[in-house]
Amino acid sequence: MRKNKQMINIDKITYEYKSEYENLVAIKDLTLEIKQGEFVVIIGHNGSGKSTLAKHMNALLLPTAGTVEVKGMDTQDENNIWNIRQIAGMVFQNPDNQIVGTIVEEDVAFGPENLGVQREEIIERVENSLSLVGMDAYRLKAPHLLSGGQKQRIAIAGIIAMRPDCIILDEPTAMLDPEGRREVMKTIKKLNEEEKITIIHITHFMEEAVEADRVIVMEDSKIVIQGKPKEVFREVERLKELGLDVPQVTELAYELAKEGINISTEVLTVDEMVMRLCQLR
């Protein structure tokens, strides 16, 4: 069975950003467990604490109080940092900030080279990583000539080449057009389903959360809702109170139900909506 081992354990953490004038609590008394092989999406409006939480998952930030463990390793133990960052790789919003090579294959090789991996294995890892993200044909291209979606897939390939068990993606599709978002989401889903890599995906696009195993909603530094996508998105009024959207077809089902049409508000996809509507005939 996959999803039966613990990948990340967050126990009652608080994190404060400290400045000369005030302390800002970005996370407060938050507890969360993520299992190996799980696909988790975290949503919440700007300032809810989701990006701060993500940075705790590979020790880019350390909690002010409480503990974070990655595969049983405490992030506050400096001796664990190297191993934690190999286990939990991170992909950020702007791929240009992660791309360092002048050609694609150099960029993907950068991480393994810094880990001291032998040249023969680096070549194999680069080939495998580019194949996984569907970018093998671009290995000799200059990254700056690629589209936004292609650049983000190269950034993901660079993380994959380091052989992580978990990939944390902090709004990786925020700067992309719809086609670029589809490319990246297809890649993320493939890594989770075929390579069994644990995925923690932070997004403000509700449609990207539909196929996750679990959706976590953050508000004011805390987790306020979590569950399977259908369980979370049927809370339409609650999500709207939090200033969040729901998938468009879920919104449509909600409005139809308000008008007295007998349709489930747990509809998440167009195909589901078509099936539900056909059943009304």
Q: Domain ranges for the chain, please list them.
A: 6-246
What pLDDT does 274 receive?
79
Identify the CA nearest to 161 among candidates 66, 86, 96, 245: 86
Contacts (Cβ under 8 Å, ≥6 apart) of 57: 8, 10, 68, 70, 88, 90, 166, 168, 200
Lowest mean pLDDT among 41-50, 73-82, 272-281: 272-281
What would the mean pLDDT of 114-134 be, rounded to a whole number? Answer: 90
d(CA 272, CA 192): 23
| Spatial distance between the Cα atoms of 81 and 243, rounded to a whole number of angstroms | 36
Tokens of 248: 């468009």
- Please state, for a pLDDT cut of 70, what percent of the chain lies above it: 98
DSSP state of 140: T
pLDDT > 80? residue 1: no
Give the integer Cα–Cα distance in Å for 90 and 203.
14
**Could you tell me whether strands 198-202 and 166-170 are parallel, antiparallel, or unpaired per DSSP bridges?**
parallel
pLDDT band at 234 (very low <50, low <70, confident <90, very high): confident
Q: Which residues contact 268 (CB under 8 A, 6 or more apart)?
A: 210, 229, 230, 233, 247, 249, 250
Distance CA 52, CA 205 (A): 18
User: How far apart, in whole angstroms, are the C-alpha atoms of residue 261 and residue 159?
Assistant: 47
| pLDDT above 90 (res 225) | yes
pLDDT of the residue at 2: 45
pLDDT for 114 beyond 90: no
The token duo for 215 is 């959706």
The distance between the two most distant Cα atoms of the chain, rounded to a whole number of Å, is: 65
Coil, strand or helix at 223: strand
What are the tens digits of pLDDT across the range 169-213?
999 888 888 888 888 899 899 999 998 999 999 998 888 998 899
**pTM summary value:** 0.87
Amino acid, single-letter form, for residue 230: K
Q: Indicate whether 279 pLDDT > 50.
A: yes
Per-residue confidence (pLDDT) for residue 4, from 0 to 100: 61
Among 3.40.50.970, 3.40.50.300, 3.90.1150.10, 3.40.50.150, name the CATH number for the domain at 6-246.
Answer: 3.40.50.300
User: Which residue's structure tokens are 């468009």?
Assistant: 248
Tell me what pLDDT residue 3 has.
46
Which backbone phi and psi does 218 adopt, to 5 degrees? -110, 145
What mean pLDDT, rounded, does the chain reach? 89
The total number of residues shown for the chain amounts to 281
Across residues 64-86, what is the average pLDDT? 94
Question: Do 38 and 210 touch, CB atoms closer than 8 A?
Answer: no
Whether the pLDDT of residue 24 is over 90: the answer is: no
Calculate the CA 71 to chain-centre distance: 18
The confidence score (pLDDT) of residue 46 equals: 86
